[in-house]
Amino acid sequence: MSNSIATQTMLIGEVEVPVLEYKGQRVVTFAMIDKVHQRPERTARERFRDNRHRFVEGKHFYMIDYSQKHVFHAFGIEIPPRGLIVLSERGYLLVVKSFTDDLAWQIQEELIDSYFRTNRDIRLSLPYHLRRYLANQLHIPYNFFSILNELTIRLIAPLELQGYILPDNMLPDISEGLLFNRWLRKEGINPKEILTYIHAYEDGRRVKVKMYPIEFWPDFIKHFHEEWLPKRAHDYFQKRDPEALPFLPKLLEARMTKSLTELLKTNNAPYSAQKMNKILLDMGIIEEKTRPSSKGGEKRYKAFTEEGRIYGKNVVKPQKPEETQPRFYEDTFEQLLIMIRNYLDR
């Protein structure tokens, strides 16, 4: 898909504005927002700067590089050497949250209904990474696989099904690719000898990307589910887009779990279950909850907190359906023990 801008205009309120599209979706500039909302120049830009930590590139805004200055010439929009920020629908709504006068409400409705949501179904039916998958899958012979193909099936599409769309600028296939290649080296396989194909991006880039022999596929599946997903995904999204974190636990639910006592014994950990529970409570990994007791009063039980759910899941007790018990993931328990040692050494 081209990054070109459609040369048409639209009337919003009493102001005629250009219809700008970038990467298949409508976008607006700060100047356009100030103009249609009849605000002093630089108002929208200042709102953006005040709340910069809330905006995610690829989701709320895009930075248009100076090298793409020709794209905006039709509308007389100059891209400065430092680049130009354009806002998506989500980014626009964040910027104008503080605009509460009657005109602001009217303009917001017009922009959302008439500007951003024209051809919305076509634009959102296939998010960027699914389009990227479709554009490149035919380059992979049947007896090879690519990491993007596998992550589309095992990460990107399941996240989207839950309601989370991966931002355009995030490439978890690169993160897992680096980790998997490191594992291959330990197994005596030189990743430099693996064949490549030309991977196409919508912005025109063409990059050589590895395609792995199908014989590696079982090892990759195990590596993704036992290494990247449980041990790296949380940090990956925490650094790039924390909004993804509530969606990760569902991807981890099918993993093997054991009781705390079993895993402490298996890992020769120098803690009793009682001491371990106290440490986990102090760290905020688990919490104590209460339920009514059949004998009156309250019965206490333990459960993973939202933060702690990367290390296990809360399982309903068959004999007491009103109560849960923590079950720990085997593949992150060693990482949890390291965290505990660091916590105690502080």
Per-residue pLDDT reduced to its tens digit, 49-72: 999 998 999 889 999 888 877 766
Question: Are 219 and 156 a contacting pair, CB within 8 Å?
Answer: no
Percentage of residues in the chain with pLDDT exceeding 90? 43
- Per-domain residue ranges for the chain? 9-124, 128-252, 257-344
pLDDT, average across residues 240-244:
92
Residue 175 scores a pLDDT above 70: yes
Does the predicted model carry a pTM greater than 0.85? no
Instruction: Kindly state the percentage of the chain with pLDDT values over 70.
Output: 93
Predicted confidence at residue 44, as pLDDT, reads: 94
Give the pLDDT of residue 1.
34
Lowest mean pLDDT among 29-38, 71-80, 97-106: 71-80
Residue that is written with structure tokens 């017009």 in the block = 110
- Mean pLDDT, to the nearest integer, of 194-198? 93
- Going by pLDDT thresholds of 50, 70 and 90, the confidence category of residue 225 is confident
- Residues 295-306: pLDDT tens digits? 778 888 999 998
